[in-house]
Amino acid sequence: MQGERCMIRDRTLLRCQRCGGIYSNCILSWVPSTCAGSRRELVDGHVGLRPPEETNRRRGGFMRVLQCAVFLVAIVAAGCGANRSARSESSQPLAPERAAAVEASVRAFAQAVAQDITQNGPTAWRKQFSDTPAFFMAANGRMVFPNSAAATAGIEDLPRFIKQIELSWGDDLRVDPLTGNLAVVAATYHEVLTSPEGKRDDESGYFTGVAENRDGSWQFRDAHWSAPVSTPPGH
């Protein structure tokens, strides 16, 4: 604003050249504006005049920012609520009926695995192991397959050494349901491995693994095989 300035009790009075009105820059007490062509705003400690179109433009930009902020807050709040609900559901113990259903389903899965491997040979293991980054398999204290890609490569190579596998679980097979889609499986096992040359090798041990239900089908998310270590004579 251009106009006359005078100091009255620590106030600066400005006279608008457009309407002749007098305005104060006092922060605590604003004099109502009578200028129809401008809008009074506090700029750098003084009351100035801005064209109405600039004020409307600034107000519109502020409202758009405010609407976006409210929208983002709503999305974040909804996501946090869903995560809390999922965590709460997964942390709740299964109802007895649900736990029994999961146990029965996993037991059937374990028996189907033994039958599939026995009938279709060692390469049938590929579809029984989860094809996800989380998968791994260990045996007798060492890592055999650190991930799913290693499992695929290793299983494809098995027919060079093993022609047939006869797999059976012991009667002590145990299933510990963790959630509706996860369960620990543990059992003694017995295998008869037949080489391409016809040589048979018997092996017995203990198996543990985590079964995971993905898209309605169970697979082993991870697995560990352990066989008794023979004690050297004299020990």
Whether the pTM exceeds 0.85: the reply is: no
Residue 222 contacts residue 135 (beta carbons within 8 Å): yes
Provide the residue-wise pLDDT of the chain in tens; the chain has 235 residues.
444 444 434 444 455 555 555 544 443 344 444 444 444 444 444 444 445 555 555 556 656 655 656 556 555 455 555 555 445 445 578 999 999 999 999 999 999 999 999 999 999 999 999 999 999 999 999 999 999 999 999 999 999 999 999 999 999 999 999 999 999 999 999 999 999 999 999 999 999 999 999 999 999 999 999 998 776 666 5
Sequential DSSP letters for 163-202? SEEEEEE-TT-EEEE-SSSEEEEEEEEEEEEE-TT--EEE
Candidates 3.40.50.10420, 3.30.70.260, 1.10.3720.10, 3.10.450.50; CATH matching 96-226: 3.10.450.50
Residues 226 and 58: their CA atoms lie apart, in Å, by 72
- Cα angle for residues 144, 184, 164 (degrees, 5° grid): 45
